[in-house]
Amino acid sequence: MESDDAWTRDTGPSIVKNAQGERIGIDWVFNAWGGEEGGLYFPWDQDQLIAKQISAMHELDSFSTPLVLEGGSIHVDGE
């Protein structure tokens, strides 16, 4: 799996589970911490693909959202 320059923590999927125990990978938009004007690097095309690739490796469906989020910006307790 190739990447441009980001950590998997920031580009990988967020795995969520519903009440029935079904899991899905959330594929957030990654923009290298700021986008084309202010981001740390360009291009980030390979980094944007990481979430879908990890979900596929674990045989999880993937949900793409137009929201920008780097995985390191949230904290969860696993419940």
Q: Is residue 3 part of a domain?
A: no
In the predicted structure, residue 73 carries a pLDDT above the cut 90: no
Residue 78: inside a domain: no
pTM as predicted: 0.87
Domain contains 79: no
Residue 47 within a domain: yes
| Average pLDDT estimate for 1-30 | 94
Task: Please name the residues in contact with 72: beta carbons below 8 A apart, sequence gap of 6 or more.
Answer: 7, 9, 10
Q: Quick one: tokens of 65?
A: 């959202």
CA–CA gap between residue 6 and residue 23 (Å, rounded): 25
Count of domains in the chain? 1
11, 9, 1, 6: which is closest to 51 by C-alpha? 11
Domain of 16? 8-68
Determine, yes or no, domain membership for 77.
no
Here the tokens at position 44 are 């980030």
Q: Label residue 65 by pLDDT band (50, 70, 90).
A: very high
Q: For residue 38, tell me if it sits in a domain.
A: yes
